[in-house]
Chain A
Amino acid sequence: MVTEAPALPSGLTKGKRPPGLIADRGFRVLALLAGLTVLVILALIAIYTTREAWPWFRTEGLGIFSDNWDPAHHQFGAGGLIYGTLVVAGIAVVLSLPISVGIALFVTDVAPERIRRPIVYTVDLLAAIPSVVYGLWALFVLAEPLANLFQSLSDATASIPVLKTLFANPSASGKSFMTAGIIVAIMITPIITSITREVFATVPSSQKEAALALGATRWEMIRGAVFPHSRSGMVAGTMIGLGRAMGETIAIALVIGASPRITANILGPGDTLASIIANQFGEASGTHRAALIGCGVVLFAITIVISMAARAVVSRADRRTAGTA
C-alpha cells in the first residue's frame, strides 16, 4: 500500500480521484486492525483462562462463592477472596477519594501559580513507584505502628455497638484488610488526582467568576460551579482508581495476612483474589491450580461489571448536565 503512494500526484492531475484516497483507506484498515487487536487479546485471555479454570467451575459449581478456601481439604470456595477484594478496594477508595479531590482542588483553584507544578509533579511521581516497593514499605515501616494503633483503636471502641465488631481482633503483626487498604489508597491517589485535576481544569472560568461575582465564597463556588460540571469526570476517575485497587497484587499479598475469610473485623487478616494467585500459584496443581486461574476469571468479571456500571453512571450524568446546559 505504501508503494502506491508515489503514483498519486499523477492521479491528482487527471482530477478523477481525490488525493490520498488509497492511503486513507489503508490507514482505516490499519486503525481497525489496531482496534481489533485489543478485542482479540481480551477474548483470547478470557477463553484460555476460562478453559483452564473449567475443572474448578465444574466441581464446585455455585460453591465457588462459598467461604471455605482450604486446599489441604480440597475446598476451593472463593467467597472470602471476593469479599476481601471488595473490602480492600472499598477502603482504598474511601480513603483516597477525599484526599485526591482535595489535592486536585488545591492545585486548580487554591494554590498560587508558583507551587502548582511542583505539587503535580510530586503526586505523579507517586505513580512511578513500583508496587512491590509500596508493599515492602508497608510491611517493614507501616505495619508495626499500625498494629499498635489498631490495638488501641480496638480497646477504645470495645463498648461501642457497631465499631466493636468492626475493630475486634486486631492483627498483632499489623497485616490486615485495613493495612492493605491504606497502602492501596496511596497507590491510587495519583490516578484519581490527575483525572479529577484535568476535569476541574475544564470548568469554564466564566462560570467560576460568575459564582464569585454573585457573592459566593470560594467553597460555595467550588460546590456550585466546579462540582456539578465535573461530576462525571470524578466518577470516572474513581472507577479507574477502583479498578486499579482491585487488580493490585503484590503490595496486598505482602500485608494482608493470607487468611481468606468473610469477617467484619477489618483490622484482622484476610486475602484477595489477586494476592492469593501470587501467593499460591507456584506450588498449585490440579483443581487448586484451576481454582487459582478461576480466581483470575472472577476478578476479570468483577472488573468488567464495575467498569460497565461506571460507564452507565458517567453517561447518565453527562445526559443530565447536557440537558441543563
Chain B
Amino acid sequence: MKRIVASLRWLLPVALVAGLATSGVAVAGASAPAQGGSATLNGSGSTFQQPYNEQVIGAFKQKSPSVTINYSGGGSGKGRQDFADQVVDFAGTDAPYSASDAAGVKGGTYYYFPTVAGPITVSYNVNGVKKLQLSPQTLAKIFQGDIKTWNDPAIAADNKGVKLPSTPITVVHRSDSSGTTQNFTTFLNTAAPGVWTLGAGSTVTWPSDQQSGQGNPGVGQTIKSTDGAVGYVDFSDAKALKLKFASVKNQAGKFVAPTLKGTTAAIDKAQVNQDLTYNPLNAAGASAYPIASPTWILAYQNYSDSAKTSAIKNFLNYIYGNGQKLANSVDYAPLPKDLLDKAKAQVKQIGGSSGSTSSTTPSS
C-alpha cells in the first residue's frame, strides 16, 4: 500500500501541472474571441524579409498588444512548404509557387501580399577603382568566368576614361541556396540572354575556381578582404560592410547605382499580375535600378477562428500603413502607390466568402 501511495505522490504534481496546462489552454481559447482580437499568428519563410518583419512586428505589437506574431525564418522554400502543409498561419517568400507546387497547397484560397523590396548590389573591391559601371552582358561574362582580369576590354568599354588594373577577378557567390542568388541569376538570364549560360535558380552551378560565402554577410566579408573581388550582396548587408557598389546598366541604357528609390521606381514600372506577383528585374524606366528582390507574405483567405482573421487583416493593413514608413530605416524599398492600393484592396478579401475557385487568381 505504501508503495502505491508513494507512486501516487510522485504522480500528483505531474497530474496537477498537466491539468493546469490543459485548463489554461481551454480558458485562453474560450476567452480569445470575447477579448476581440487576442490571437497568435505563426509564420516562417524568407530570411530576406526577416529583418523588416521583425521591425514591423515589434511596432505592431505596441499598437495591438493582444496579438502575438512569431516569424521564424528558415528560407522561402521552407515557408512555402509550411504554408502548403498548413503548419503556419502565414509565410514569407521571395518567389511565387511554381505551377506544380501550387496544386499542393492545402487550406483553400490564398493570396500573395507584396510587402517591401530590396536592391541587390554588385559589390566590388578593386584597389584604385572608385567608380565602376557594368552592363548586364559584362556582368554575365564576369560571373561565369569568361572575363578573368579587371582590365578586360569588355569592362573597359563600360568604363570609358577609368584606369583599370590588371588584377585577376575573384568572383564571390553564395554557398547556401538563396533568393538573392535566384533574383541575381534571373536578372542575368533576362537581361543578358545568349550570354549567360549558368541558368537561374536559388542555387546554380558556378565554376569551381570561384569563391563562396555563407549568407550575404559571408559573401560581403570575402569581398571586403580580397583585392579584385566582386559579388552580389543585398543592399543592407553591403551598406553595413561599407562595400563599393557598381552601377548597373538598366533597360533604358542608363547606368544606375543601387538605391531604395531606384528599386521603388523599378517596381512601379514592373508588370503586376492579377495575383499581385510581379517581376522587378530589368524593369523599364530611366531611373530604375534593374536588380531587386521582391518579397511577399502568403496568407489564406479563410482562417479557423475570427480572431486570427482580424489579426492577419490588421497586421497586413499595418504593413501597408505605417509599416511602409519603417522600410527605409531597415534599408528596404517601400512599394509604389499603385501597387500599395492594389494590396490594400486585396486585404479586404480575407475572411470574405470563398467565391473564387482558382487560388492563383483570387482577385478575379
Real binding pair: yes
Residues in A lying within 8 Å of B, measured CB to CB: 2-3, 5-6, 69-73, 169, 172-173, 175, 253-254, 257-261, 263, 268-269, 278-286, 288-289
B81 interface hit (Cβ, 8 Å):
yes
Bound complex: CA A248 to CA B353 (Å): 50
Inter-chain contact B200/A72, CB cutoff 8 Å: yes
B3 interface hit (Cβ, 8 Å):
yes
Contact residue among A173, A258, A268, A282 (Cβ-Cβ distance under 8 Å from B74): A282
Inter-chain contact A283/B76, CB cutoff 8 Å: yes
Inter-chain contact B3/A172, CB cutoff 8 Å: no
Inter-chain contact A289/B81, CB cutoff 8 Å: yes
19 contacts between A and B (CB under 8 A): A70-B199, A71-B177, A72-B198, A73-B201, A73-B205, A173-B211, A173-B212, A173-B222, A175-B211, A175-B212, A260-B205, A278-B176, A280-B176, A283-B76, A283-B176, A283-B203, A285-B80, A288-B202, A289-B77
Bound complex: CA A288 to CA B177 (Å): 11
Q: Which of B78, B175, B200 gathers the greatest number of chain A CB atoms within 10 Å? A: B175
B329 interface hit (Cβ, 8 Å):
no
For the complex of A and B, list the 5 residue pairs with the smallest distance between their C-beta atoms, beginning with the closest. A282-B75, A72-B199, A72-B201, A258-B175, A283-B202
| A69 partner residues in chain B, CB cutoff 8 A | 205
Contact residue among A72, A261, A281, A286 (Cβ-Cβ distance under 8 Å from B204): A72
User: Which stretch from B178-186, B298-306, B317-325 is at the chain A interface?
Assistant: B178-186
Minimum C-beta distance from A268 to chain B (A): 6
Bound complex: CA A268 to CA B182 (Å): 25
Within 8 A of A (CB), among B189-214: 198-206, 208-209, 211-212, 214
Bound complex: CA A257 to CA B74 (Å): 21
A279 touching B176 in the complex, CB below 8 Å, given contacts A258-B212, A261-B208, A289-B77 = yes
Inter-chain contact B199/A2, CB cutoff 8 Å: no
| B54 partner residues in chain A, CB cutoff 8 A | none
Minimum C-beta distance from A2 to chain B (A): 6
| B100 partner residues in chain A, CB cutoff 8 A | 286
Q: Which of A3, A254, A284 gathers the greatest number of chain B CB atoms within 10 Å? A: A284
Measured as residues with beta carbon below 8 angstroms from the partner, the interface class of chain B is 35 or more
> Which partner residue on chain B sits nearest A275 by CB separation?
B175
Inter-chain contact B208/A280, CB cutoff 8 Å: no
> Which partner residue on chain B sits nearest A140 by CB separation?
B221
**Beyond A6-B4, A259-B212, A283-B76, 18 extra complex contacts between A and B, CB < 8 Å:** A6-B2, A70-B199, A72-B204, A169-B209, A173-B222, A257-B175, A268-B209, A269-B212, A280-B203, A282-B77, A283-B176, A283-B182, A283-B202, A285-B97, A285-B98, A286-B98, A289-B77, A289-B81
Bound complex: CA A110 to CA B202 (Å): 55
Bound complex: CA A278 to CA B3 (Å): 50
Within 8 A of A (CB), among B81-117: 81, 97-98, 100-101
Inter-chain contact A71/B201, CB cutoff 8 Å: yes
Inter-chain contact B199/A283, CB cutoff 8 Å: no
Bound complex: CA A172 to CA B81 (Å): 37
| A288 partner residues in chain B, CB cutoff 8 A | 77, 202-203
B357 interface hit (Cβ, 8 Å):
no
Bound complex: CA A70 to CA B212 (Å): 16
B364 interface hit (Cβ, 8 Å):
no
Inter-chain contact B101/A282, CB cutoff 8 Å: no
> Which partner residue on chain A sits nearest B202 by CB separation?
A283
Inter-chain contact A280/B212, CB cutoff 8 Å: no
| B202 partner residues in chain A, CB cutoff 8 A | 71, 280, 283-284, 288
B138 interface hit (Cβ, 8 Å):
no
B240 interface hit (Cβ, 8 Å):
no
Minimum C-beta distance from A287 to chain B (A): 9
Inter-chain contact A3/B4, CB cutoff 8 Å: yes
Bound complex: CA A188 to CA B118 (Å): 43
Bound complex: CA A70 to CA B185 (Å): 13
Bound complex: CA A282 to CA B79 (Å): 8
| A71 partner residues in chain B, CB cutoff 8 A | 177, 201-204
Inter-chain contact B204/A70, CB cutoff 8 Å: yes
